[in-house]
Structure 1
Amino acid sequence: MAAKTLPNGLTNIHRFITTHDQSGKAVFSDAVAPEAKWDEIGKTSGFNFFLGYTTSNFPTSMKPSDEKDHKSEHEDIVSYKQHLETPPGLCVSSGTVCRFVDFAPGATPMMHRTASLDYGVVLDGTVECILDSGEVRTMNKGDLCVQRATNHAWKNVTENGGWARMMFVLVGAEPPVVGGNTLGEELGAAADGIKSSD
């Protein structure tokens, strides 16, 4: 499958989902087309989203949605397809989200907190992780940030005005309690159409 270049100069992503055939052998599912469809959410703020996969419960149920018909779609794939039709907020409180985000050069950083444990990996470019305390770390390709429900923002600082791309895996978590206060989700003013998580 040939890689297609997006208008921002980055390569489009393909998502391949595996499953089992009736004999128990691993095969690729054709339930969802592999080529990424980038969400319109946040484009005016300078970032594009691709919802790579979601789950809605833990542990994840991968059994057929109709247990009498093993050819029926599996519960996690059905749930993901529903999220593709009606995207969730930044995280799914009872499950997981795998999301890719492309950051435009000069995009306004969006300070926010999710009630989740997040793994963020830089795939292209250079990105600053900015915390509400004022601390900043510069992340290069391959670097990982573990966000533990903290208030933070991402800033693309790629040389020569290039786009940056990160992949995030968000795992639903109990909100932290600091100084007797429960710190829930906070979406900043720059959230531009991103809805609250469920």
Structure 2
Amino acid sequence: MSLPPVRRVVTGHGPDALATFASDALVEVNTRPNGMALSFIAAAPSLPVNNQDPKDWANEEANGRNHEGLPNLFDVPGLSCRVFDVPPGGATPMHRTVTFDLVVMMHGEITITLDGGEQKVLKAGDFLVQKGTSHKWSNEHPTEVARMCVVMTNSLPLKIPGVNGGEEKILGKA
């Protein structure tokens, strides 16, 4: 079962300073080789967000560029909101982003597996707060697409004391 496309409505201000709708359109889907689909909803290069910046940073991300114009979809120096569709039987590799993520399950079910082997199944309406942990997503349903909305913001690198014989391990870049 495929899901309907994501519609993005953006507000702004007119020349008279009154609120207006700046755009209303379906979001282009960026399908990855593994069948995962990303729809880029909103982005900002820094926090706090400049609501007068006319640039569509989500469009930059959709074209495979981060906020410095470099090709890295998971380097989020400010804020990013994405809709992530995982096809039936689809899965990501184990990965970590140096971000603080708020995940809302919109449709279906998704299993999150942490690098220690723990798993949780998230269902439509569930929220996940992802704090830079190593994880993978998998959709174990035979026919239903899983859809998540993920809001990501940059975070400090993790400093974990006592690993590797007592050394501190820094995960991510400073």
CA shift, 1:173, in A, is 0.8
Q: Which runs of 4+ in 1 moved over 4 A?
A: none
Structure 2: segments with no counterpart, 5+ residues: 67-71, 162-167
C-alpha distance in structure 1 between counterparts of 2:63 and 2:127, whole Å: 30
CA contact (8 A) 1:129 1:136 kept: yes
CA contact (8 A) 2:61 2:73 kept: no
1:48 maps to 37
C-alpha distance in structure 2 between counterparts of 1:164 and 1:82, whole Å: 25
2:5 maps to 12
Q: 1:133 aligns with which of 113, 116, 127?
A: 116
C-alpha distance in structure 1 between counterparts of 2:59 and 2:150, whole Å: 19
CA shift, 1:45, in A, is 1.3
The structure-2 alpha-carbon separation of the partners of 1:56 and 1:143, relative to structure 1 and needing over 3 Å to count, comes to same
Correspondence 1:28-43 to 2 at 5 A? 28-30=21-23, 34-40=25-31, 42=32
Q: How many residues align?
A: 162
Encode CA deviations 1:100-154: one digit per residue, 9 max, x unaligned: 1111111133211000000111111011110000000111101111110000011
CA contact (8 A) 1:107 1:156 kept: yes
1:173 maps to 155
| Corresponding residue SS for 2:60 | helix
CA shift, 1:165, in A, is 0.7
The structure-2 alpha-carbon separation of the partners of 1:135 and 1:36, relative to structure 1 and needing over 3 Å to count, comes to same
Given the two structures, how large is their TM-score scaled by the length of structure 2?
0.84
Between Structure 1 and Structure 2, the one with more strand by share is: 2
C-alpha distance in structure 2 between counterparts of 1:50 and 1:81, whole Å: 10
C-alpha distance in structure 1 between counterparts of 2:27 and 2:64, whole Å: 16
| Corresponding residue SS for 1:17 | strand
What is the root-mean-square deviation in Å for CA atoms of aligned residues?
1.8
Do structure 1's residue 83 and structure 2's residue 98 form an aligned pair? no
CA contact (8 A) 1:56 1:92 kept: no
Task: Identify which of structures 1 and 2 has the higher relative contact order when contacts are C-alpha pairs closer than 8 Å and 6+ apart.
Answer: 1
Between Structure 1 and Structure 2, the one with more helix by share is: 1
| Corresponding residue SS for 2:30 | coil
C-alpha distance in structure 1 between counterparts of 2:58 and 2:83, whole Å: 15
C-alpha distance in structure 2 between counterparts of 1:115 and 1:48, whole Å: 21
Encode CA deviations 1:24-69: one digit per residue, 9 max, x unaligned: 2111103xx62110113x2x31211111111101111223xxxxxx
The structure-2 alpha-carbon separation of the partners of 1:103 and 1:56, relative to structure 1 and needing over 3 Å to count, comes to same
Percent identity over the alignment? 25
CA shift, 1:79, in A, is 3.5
The structure-2 alpha-carbon separation of the partners of 1:82 and 1:106, relative to structure 1 and needing over 3 Å to count, comes to closer
